[in-house]
Amino acid sequence: NIGARHRTRARASRSVAMTKKVVLVTGGSGLVGSAIREVIAGERPENEEWIFASSKDADLCDPASTAAMFEKYKPTHVIHLAAQVGGLFANMKYKVEFWRNNIAMNDNIFQECHKRGVEKLVSCLSTCIFPDKTTFPIDETMIHDGPPHFSNEGYAYAKRMVDVQNRMYKAQHGCNFTAVIPTNIFGKHDNFHLDNSHVIPGLIHRGYLCKQKGEPFTIWGSGTPLRQFIYSNDLARLMIWTMREYQEADPIILSVGEEDEISIADVARSVAKALDFQGEVNFDTTKADGQFKKTANNAKLRKYLPDFKFTPFDEAMASTVKWFMENYETPGAVRK
């Protein structure tokens, strides 16, 4: 019966359409969004359509602009990466802007996801939201145990509220909203601005210029603070897993293990090696160091994914520096 076969095919195609995920990534052109795009391009999942939105698509601080973007793309799943971010010195200088803009963005995203019945929202937090005075290693249960470091309190308190919102929206509306807490992220497509960047892209850019000019490579601070760094492509793979598989409202730390903590001095040496910098490397101890350490416990991640393989640090650094040098002279390719 041709008619019956046609109806069966129509039902099957409708069923595929209905089960297809539409995943909207805010901040899709940034460091993590670009890494997710690269991983998805390699996977080519059949039952998922991925949309990578940037600030050109919507002003997420504006409710109407945010609503229009959701109306246009009609996502079933959202990975919320968009944020006002910066390094230590930017955070100290613009606390009010970091607070207001991040609170506005997050509230608009949560409201749209709730109103439109989005099946899953994954937001991105940071280890800098944890209490300044705490015991180490820190874990997911300790976020609200004391005030964050004074240097970034605007950003940290705004991001802490995401964890509160996840639990409130689940309790009141049954929403499946959660958050990941990566440690320090680095990789291709980072912000390499000399003043308003995080430590690794700032070091890469400064080291590159020092090599060009034949000057000593001067590192801000003593070089003694310890950090866990996660390569953006590793984080991308873990965030995609979170979106598909992780069902808790409580956040999950996405990080290399405690044994992979590295000093800023060793990071600088890795940068110099990747740049093939042969000059003098020294430290300007008149500059602030920030927190000495904020070791994170990745036991929860390892409970779920005991066999996940992280990219070795020097390999990830070499890949990042190679991308930076290849794209440095291309207009608009490197944020600098």
Positions annotated as catalytic residues are 155
SS3 annotation, the chain: CHHHHHHHHHHHHHHHHHHCEEEEEECCCCHHHHHHHHHHHHHCCCCEEEEECCCCCCCCCCHHHHHHHHHHHCCCEEEECCCCCCCHHHHHHCHHHHHHHHHHHHHHHHHHHHHCCCCEEEEECCHHHCECCCCCCECHHHCCCCCECHHHHHHHHHHHHHHHHHHHHHHHHCCCEEEEEECEEECCCCECCCCCCCHHHHHHHHHHHHHHHCCCEEEECCCCCEECEEEHHHHHHHHHHHHHHCCCCCCEEECCCHHHCEEHHHHHHHHHHHHCCCCCEEEECCCCCCCCCCCECCHHHHHHCCCCCCCCHHHHHHHHHHHHHHHCCCCCCCEC
